[in-house]
Every structure is written in C-alpha cells, then in structure tokens.
Structure 1
Amino acid sequence: MNNLLRPLTLSGVLLFLGLPLCAPSTAAGDALPRTVQKALKHHKLESHALSLAAIPLNGPGQATTYNADVSVNPASTMKLVTTYAALELLGPAHQWQTEFYADGPIREGVLNGNLYLKGGGDPKLNMEKLWLLLRDLRAHGVQTVSGDLVLDRSHFVQPQLPEFDDDGGDETRPFLVAPDSLLINLNAQRFTTRNELGRVYISTEPPIESVRIDNRVRSLPASKTCSAWPEVHYKPIRQSDGVTVVVSGELAQGCDHQHYLSVLDHASYAGGAVRSIWQELGGQILGNDRIDAVPEDARMLVRAQSPALTEIIRDINKYSNNTMAKQLFLSLGAEFRTSADPDDAMAAQRVIRQWLARKGIKSSHLVMENGSGLSRAERVSARGMAQLLQDAWRSPYAAEFISSMPLAAMDGTMRKRLRSTSVAGKAHIKTGTLNNVRAIAGYSRDVNGNTWAVVAILNHPRPYGASAVLDQVLLDLYQQPKSQRNTARR
C-alpha cells in the first residue's frame, strides 16, 4: 500500500546518507515530451524534479531519458526490485513452511508436554490457513496441551532498522507492521462496529483475549443512507496485561463500520490467535506463552505450506503490501545468509547486488533498506530501474512478473487511474507514493501494440498533482507514430 512521508528534500537525504549530491543532468538531445512539460507547469512542479526512462522492448521507437541517472527515492516501485530478484533467486514455485512440534507423548487426547509453533517467514499465513493447520493438529489426536505454547521466531536474523514514523507516529496502522519469522494475518485485527436497533456492538477478528474493548459509541437515529466515513474513532491504550481499545463517536442505526489496527507485538498476536482458534475447536492449552527455539529432539506433528511465490508477489505488487515485501526481502537474506552477514537485511542487499552484477546491470544508485520502498533511505535511478525491467522482459518468468503488477484502470493501485483513456487495460504499472514522492514503473503498450519499459519518478517537497503528470507520461508514450503495418490494416 502506498503511504505518506513528511516533506523531505532529496539533498537532505543524500547528505544524511553520505551520498554525493547530483545536479539534474540529461544526455544531449534528451527532452521531456511537450505534453509532460505542460502538465508539470500546470501543477507548478519543476521539470528537474522528474526522472524518466522509457525503453522500447519489441518494436521501433526512440528511447527517452530525462534525469535518468539521478539518485531518487522510488517509494513503492522498489518492490519491483525485490519481487523480480525473488522470482529468479528463489524460483516461482518457492513456498514457506509453518510447523507444529511436540516434545512429549500424546495419550488420550492430551499432549503431555509443550506445543511448539515454528515460523518459517510465511508472508501470507492468514487466519484461514492457521485454522486449517490447527484442525490438522486436532485430527492428529491433540485436544489438550498440558505444557506451554512455545513460539519459535528464529527463522530470520532480524535487522535493527529505523521505524517509519513520519506521519504522526501512529504505529498501529497495519501498513507499518514489521516483518517477523512468525507473521500471522499481517498482525492486523479487524474491528467491526455496528448499530442494531439502537444498540451498538463491537467485535474483533481474531478475538484475542488480551485486546479489550471500551465501547463509548453513541447511537444515532436511523438514516436513509449510511455515511461512507462515520464518526467512529479507535484509540488503543496499552496496559501491563494487554491493550484496551477505546471506541468512541457516533453511528446511525442499521449502519456499521470496519477498521483495522495492529495493537499487539508479533508474539502476543500469534499466541492470542492460536489460543482463540484452538478454543473454538474445543481444545485447551494449560501452560503459558513463551518464545524459544524448537528442541532438536522434538517431533513435527503438522505442517502448512504457503501459496507459491507467484501468488505472493501478486499481492505485494498489485496492492503494494509493505509488510509482505519486507517479509520477502528478509526471506532472500535468510535463504542465502552467510556467516559474514550481520543480519538478513544485509544478506538480502548483498545477494541482490551480486545478482544484478551477474546480469550486467549497474547498481551504483541502488540503496535498499527493507525492500518495500517504505523508507526515507532507499534509492534507485530511473535508468537502473528501466534496465531491470528490460532484463525482466527477457526472463523466463516475465509473464509471472508482469502479471503481478496493477493493470491500468482495472485493478490494484491503478484501478482508478487512466479510466476512459487509450491506456486503460494496456499497461501493467507499479505505483509509488510517499509525502515527497510519486512514482510509476512497469510496462505499457503504444498505439502500434508494441511494449515499452517505462519509469517515471518525481521527488518534490510538495508533489501535488504529480500523479496526473505521471499519467500523462503513459498517455504520451502511447501516442507513438503509427507504423505502416497498422496504417495498411486500416
């Protein structure tokens, strides 16, 4: 999901990172299309704030570059680097595993010992998958666990990365959830507030015992239509034994409101979710929750496999899921970690740079922090990103990579853009949005049916209207001179 940053100048970031300050530069003869220049002027944006690279892939056309070698913040278009690297390095059929272990015997429905849940870094271990895994555990003959529920979160060597708190410091927003070896349901809880016949009810999913509700919502008379943005507010208050969420505001009869929050740490959420489902299935866990590694002599009881990587990257790119992208980034590090790597983020950076070098793609402008683009530090150049897209076009996994991106005017983060235009349905484009960044990167067809790799990234303290400028880049790219073959058909 695309998210917000406080305004930050590029020069300030480069100085902070110790990177050289690059003045805007263009090759001889390079110039922005007039329609794009006009759009920039209309929205009062300087042309040097835009970096552009467009490369024809399977037909005639003149490549266009503008400020293409300037180091810029790519926002969520950075996910294309992470997902393409994962496709080639892990393989499109790669899966993650989540397992339950026991360290004692099972007699008459009782596991006489501890139950271990070992996370394998699955980016998409949702409540449905967890329910099925626990159903398998019940089918294995377990009803009561006499010992503890032990959470093994050792799969990743976690990096110490700065928290992203540039938009008010509200760490409960789900898009800020950090990666974890045992990530369940993206660590998010859904709060549903509904007014039935003048009485307000609030429920949570999953219903975790340590998350309590303080219902202060006032009931309003029934209305002909329910507001799309009702006045319902959620304020978590952390306590020693959990979290109380104060829900206030007002809601009309017959209306409801849903809101997602991440109010628990990973271990508390995982333990609470397991216990909630296990109780619904008629089971008991008599001991406490704790964090520890699975003993070597423990035996595996049941295992769940994640969806294949191709499905994972579709969720990441279509909907710009930051947490899943970070999870995938660390998975690359964990897969290829060496003793010289201090953590899995550093391992992932090393592996991706080596992979790019083998392809002959220069990565001098590339700075990766978490692989999601939700960062003030991450950097690319438009030319480097376009070269990566050009290489991906020739990859055996090109179809999987391209189809993971939003389709203009149809789905994902592009579903509301370029509607009723010539580009609708003809471009697979990853978007990127931060407070000081607007970006697009992907593939787009022209009027002749030929495909281009296109990257357009605008870094500006106030990029208002920049999305319209980037849409104009795609519209202008579509209007290539008509080929003789297309003219003859007419």
Structure 2
Amino acid sequence: MNNFLRCMAIAALAAPLAWPAHAAPVNQNLPPQVVKALKANKIETNALSVVMLPLNAKGAPTFVNADVSVNPASTMKLVTTYAALELLGPSHQWKTEFYADGPLVDGTLNGNLYLKGGGDPKLNMEKLWLLLRDLRANGVRKVTGDLVLDRSHFIQPELPIFNDDGGDQNKPFLVGPDSLLVNLKALRFIVRNDAGKVSVAVEPPIANVKIDNRVKPLPAAKCPGWPDVLFNPVRDADSVTVVVSGKLAAGCRSQTYLSLLDHPNYAAGAVRAIWQELGGSILGQDRVAQVPEDARLLARAFSPDLVEIIRDINKYSNNTMARQLFLSLGAEFRNEADGDDSKAAQRVIRQWLAKKGLISPHLVIENGSGLSRAERVSARELASLLQAAWRSPYAAEFISSMPLAAVDGTMRKRLRNTEVAGKAHIKTGTLNTVRAIAGYSRDGDGNTWAVVAILNHPRPWGASSILDQVLVSLHNQRHADTAQR
C-alpha cells in the first residue's frame, strides 16, 4: 500500500463520520417548490443533487442524489480556495522581480533586464506600472541588452484546451495560467464616436497589436445596450491586426475584452509600453530564459494577500486566477515524483482532505477552477468540505470570499426581493450542461446551513431559478418548522 492510500485508510478509521447514525432524522425529499420548478422546466429530479446541513442548530439534513458523481463547474473553486487558505495561509503572497546581469552606469544598464514571474494571480497593469516605477527609481533608464522573461516558476501540465461551446477562443475567461501572468492577458478595446469621428483604442497599447478601424459613424441616437461593433483578429507571424467593423451612433461607445497574444508576447509588450511611457528604453529583443544565479536584484513587487486573491476568485468566478492558485499549491509542495504542478496540487489536496477525515472517492480535480469536463465531485463531498470549513480558523475569510446573494459577485442579480437577499454566501457554477450553487445560507430562524445544489442536464435552461428555489425553500421551511413548534 503506498503512502497516500495508507493515509486515506488511517483517516477513514480514525475520523468521525460527518453524519453519525444517531443524528437527527434525514430528509431525502426535495422541497415541493423545487420539484414544481423542475417540472416547469421539464427537468428530471434525478438530474439534481442537493445536500443541506445544519451547522449551528439542530435540524434534519437533506440528502437527495447526494452520492452521485457530478460535474460541479465553478463550485470546484471552493475546494481550491479552502485548501489554499489552510495550506498556504491567509497572508501568503507572490512576488515578481526585475534582475540585471550587467553593470548600471549613469542610468544605463549594460546588459540584459530579467523579469522573473512568481505565479502572481493578480499582477495587473497598476502593479506592473508601480514595479517599473521602482525600477526607474533605482536608477535604470536605458537597457542595452534584451528583455528576458523568466517563466520557470511553474512546471506546467499538458491539459486539454477547454471550449464549452466551440466558439471564440479569444474569450478572456479561457486564458490559461502562467508563471508570468500579466493583467490576466486581457486587451481592452474601446470604440468611441465623438461628433461623427470614430476612434478605436486598445489598453494596454502593445506595439504588435494593430487596429484596422472600419466602423461607420451614424448620426446621434439613443445608445444601444449592445452596439453593432464587431472585432475580428487577423494574425501574422509577428503581430495581430484587429479589424473593427460595424456601426456606431455619435455620442456612443463600445468596448470589449479579448485575449489575442500568448503570455510572453503580452508580458513583454506590456512592459515595453509602460517603460516607454516612463521615458525608458530597451534596445535588445524579447526572449524567454531563466535568471542567472549571479544576477542582481533591482526591484521586487508583492501580490495582495491570499485572502484578497480568493475573494476575486470566488466572488467573480475567475478561472485564470483559480488555475494560478491551483498550480501555486503544486509549486509550493511539489516533489520529484509529481511530474508537474497540477499533479503535485492534486496530491497535496487529497492528502490534506484525508488528514481532515474528508474521504472523497468521487473527487476528480483537473485544474482546480471547474472550467473542465473532467472534474467531478458528489454533493455530499462538497457539503462535507463546507462543514469542515465552517469549523476552520479561517472560516470568516473563506465565507466572505463568496458572493452575497442579491448584493455582489455572480449572485448580485439573483434572489432580489426575497428573504434570502443578503443572507446567503453562495459560489455559483455554470457550464453548458451544468448549473450549481454551494455555500452557506440562513434559515428563517437565522441559523446557518451548508448548502450544495448541482444540476447536470443536457438542457439546463431555467436551472438557475431552480437552484435559487432551493435557498428560498430552505429559508421558508425552517420558518415553517419554527411556527409549528
């Protein structure tokens, strides 16, 4: 028996069961309003897995299709973020550094400038600008050598490219992780019609992103919610040209985000754009290599704390940042047998779960974000994780990272004008055939429950309202029970 299986076996024998036999009666039926909503949307009840566990008061837990292996979509981010909180710590930070391999004389670096990535999930343009300002404050004005990117922090896995609908691969939410991830690799295109003159700008202004403006100006009119402006990227060997076409009325604007460059070209282009604005120059080429051992540190920037990172991941379901965090777990704890940081992260998370007595035979983690067709879990396993997190020293940080119903994040437009508004911290999940929620919600007595509801169905249209009804029914059912007592 290998060490992992031995650890799982010992934990299974030693740890108490999450729901012992002498616990309160178990409810195995869906709330009537949920059943009604399923029928209204012509979805079978066996497509929905639901677990509701009382956390700070007595009550009958609900288990419906609780042990079915399902795709959790982005609720998988709860596994990654909770593991990171306990394994890396809430104050964990990532660093990004500039190094030099030559002397600095009168503002001129006679050598190469190295930018070493540390896997920062939130190295945005503001942070990069501040880092370059620090480089300038340390005396650098001109670099005679190359701009060298060190992307060696992660050992990247070879994973299948995910595209749920077979559509535009330039969507920012499909951006993969990288040791040197800059600004989530997003380009923002802004189209404006000012008094009949149409302009197109791109941020950041990377030199090898060119604009072919073919937008036709229209007379002033009410600005539509979805302007008739199209963005068509055309790539060649050294650059990408974005053909912008369509029509735009005077006084109106349109914007979109695209990911058009690979990680090295984006990072180098962003550095050069900001450095030029700061009055600096880099005379050499862009290339990828590791920082030499004898290189000299010039400037360093730290990321926000992990607590802020997981808030961005869970509130806004940021896939790229979740994948960065997942690989960061692997990079932090990898050993020679892992092969890559994805396998290392999988091993570390499973060992961590086993030590907590959370044996999860259905759990399959591919990239830690839920943007995957391979990832699996059961509703019972995810609810067990939420139950354990409730008892964690970092419970407050974990819970507050999730969207607040009807208030913010991916739940800001849901459950408005209901009694659940502002009373549930819920992570959402959406794929073409998946709708999911998982988190914490209050009943009518103000008690907190762990709630997981995952629907896997070929046509999950209207399923978000079904899952919302799970939360509403939980609140109303507890209120009804109180009235009967």
Q: For the residues of structure 1 that align with 2:297 and 2:314, how far apart are their CA atoms?
A: 34
SS at match of 2:372: coil
1:76 to 60, 67, 74: 74
Percent identity over the alignment?
A: 73
Matched, 1:322 2:319: yes
Contact 2:405/2:426, CA 8 A, preserved across alignment: yes
Matched, 1:166 2:164: yes
Aligned length: 461
Matched, 1:236 2:236: no
Contact 2:27/2:62, CA 8 A, preserved across alignment: no
Contact 1:448/1:486, CA 8 A, preserved across alignment: no
Matched, 1:404 2:401: yes
SS at match of 2:327: helix
- Structure 1 match to 2:383: 386
Residues 13-42 of structure 1 show CA distances to partners (whole Å, capped at 9, x for unaligned) of xxxxxxxxxxxxxx9861111111111111
SS at match of 1:237: strand
Q: For the residues of structure 2 that align with 1:347 and 1:438, how far apart are their CA atoms?
A: 29
Contact 2:71/2:434, CA 8 A, preserved across alignment: yes
SS at match of 2:225: coil
**Given residue 62 of structure 1, which amino acid in structure 2 is its aligned partner?**
A
Contact 1:326/1:371, CA 8 A, preserved across alignment: yes
1:425 to 422, 425, 440: 422
Q: State the Cα distance separating 1:483 from its structure 2 match.
A: 9.2
Matched, 1:202 2:216: no
**Given residue 97 of structure 1, which amino acid in structure 2 is its aligned partner?**
K
Kindly report which structure 2 residues correspond to 1:277-316, keeping only aligned pairs within 5 A, or say none.
277-316=274-313
Q: For the residues of structure 2 that align with 1:68 and 1:313, how far apart are their CA atoms?
A: 27
Q: For the residues of structure 2 that align with 1:460 and 1:453, how far apart are their CA atoms?
A: 23
Q: For the residues of structure 2 that align with 1:86 and 1:52, how far apart are their CA atoms?
A: 26
Q: State the Cα distance separating 1:170 from its structure 2 match.
A: 1.7
Q: State the Cα distance separating 1:158 from its structure 2 match.
A: 0.3
Contact 2:315/2:410, CA 8 A, preserved across alignment: yes
Matched, 1:267 2:264: yes
Q: State the Cα distance separating 1:480 from its structure 2 match.
A: 3.4
Q: For the residues of structure 2 that align with 1:305 and 1:442, how far apart are their CA atoms?
A: 30
Q: For the residues of structure 2 that align with 1:243 and 1:482, how far apart are their CA atoms?
A: 59
Q: For the residues of structure 2 that align with 1:322 and 1:456, how far apart are their CA atoms?
A: 20
SS at match of 2:266: helix
SS at match of 2:127: helix
Kindly report which structure 2 residues correspond to 1:428-467, keeping only aligned pairs within 5 A, or say none.
428-467=425-464
Residues 212-255 of structure 1 show CA distances to partners (whole Å, capped at 9, x for unaligned) of 000000000001x2111000000111101110000000000011
- Cα distance change of structure 1 residues 484 and 79 upon mapping to structure 2, 3 Å threshold: closer
SS at match of 1:410: coil
Q: State the Cα distance separating 1:171 from its structure 2 match.
A: 1.4
More deviation, 467-476/30-39: 30-39
Q: For the residues of structure 2 that align with 1:415 and 1:165, how far apart are their CA atoms?
A: 26
SS at match of 1:88: helix
- Structure 2 match to 1:15: none
Unaligned runs of 5+ in 2: 1-24
Matched, 1:93 2:124: no
Contact 2:443/2:478, CA 8 A, preserved across alignment: no
Q: For the residues of structure 1 that align with 2:220 and 2:477, how far apart are their CA atoms?
A: 55
Residues 314-363 of structure 1 show CA distances to partners (whole Å, capped at 9, x for unaligned) of 00000000000000000000000000011000000000000000000011
**Given residue 180 of structure 2, which amino acid in structure 1 is its aligned partner?**
L
**Given residue 45 of structure 1, which amino acid in structure 2 is its aligned partner?**
I
Q: State the Cα distance separating 1:391 from its structure 2 match.
A: 0.2
Contact 2:54/2:449, CA 8 A, preserved across alignment: yes
2:150 to 149, 152, 157: 152
Matched, 1:51 2:49: yes
- Cα distance change of structure 1 residues 62 and 302 upon mapping to structure 2, 3 Å threshold: same
Matched, 1:135 2:129: no
2:190 to 189, 192, 217: 192
- Structure 2 match to 1:355: 352
- Find runs of 4+ consecutive structure 1 residues off by over 2 angstroms: 480-488
**Given residue 361 of structure 2, which amino acid in structure 1 is its aligned partner?**
S
Q: For the residues of structure 1 that align with 2:37 and 2:252, how far apart are their CA atoms?
A: 42
TM-score (norm 2): 0.93
- Structure 1 match to 2:18: none
Kindly report which structure 2 residues correspond to 1:466-477, keeping only aligned pairs within 5 A, or say none.
466-477=463-474
Q: For the residues of structure 2 that align with 1:228 and 1:418, how far apart are their CA atoms?
A: 24
- Structure 2 match to 1:13: none
Q: State the Cα distance separating 1:165 from its structure 2 match.
A: 2.0
- Structure 1 match to 2:255: 258
Q: For the residues of structure 2 that align with 1:369 and 1:467, how far apart are their CA atoms?
A: 25
Q: For the residues of structure 2 that align with 1:83 and 1:347, how far apart are their CA atoms?
A: 16
Q: State the Cα distance separating 1:49 from its structure 2 match.
A: 0.1
- Cα distance change of structure 1 residues 352 and 296 upon mapping to structure 2, 3 Å threshold: same
Q: State the Cα distance separating 1:121 from its structure 2 match.
A: 0.1
**Given residue 57 of structure 2, which amino acid in structure 1 is its aligned partner?**
G
RMSD over equivalenced CA pairs, Å = 1.4
Unaligned runs of 5+ in 1: 1-26
- Structure 2 match to 1:342: 339
**Given residue 306 of structure 1, which amino acid in structure 2 is its aligned partner?**
S
SS at match of 2:321: helix
- Structure 1 match to 2:3: none
Residues 162-196 of structure 1 show CA distances to partners (whole Å, capped at 9, x for unaligned) of 00123234211000000000000000010000001
Residues 251-310 of structure 1 show CA distances to partners (whole Å, capped at 9, x for unaligned) of 000111111000000000000000000000000000000000000000111100000000
- Cα distance change of structure 1 residues 244 and 325 upon mapping to structure 2, 3 Å threshold: same
Q: State the Cα distance separating 1:416 from its structure 2 match.
A: 0.4
- Cα distance change of structure 1 residues 29 and 120 upon mapping to structure 2, 3 Å threshold: closer
Q: For the residues of structure 1 that align with 2:27 and 2:405, how far apart are their CA atoms?
A: 30
SS at match of 1:269: helix
Matched, 1:42 2:43: no
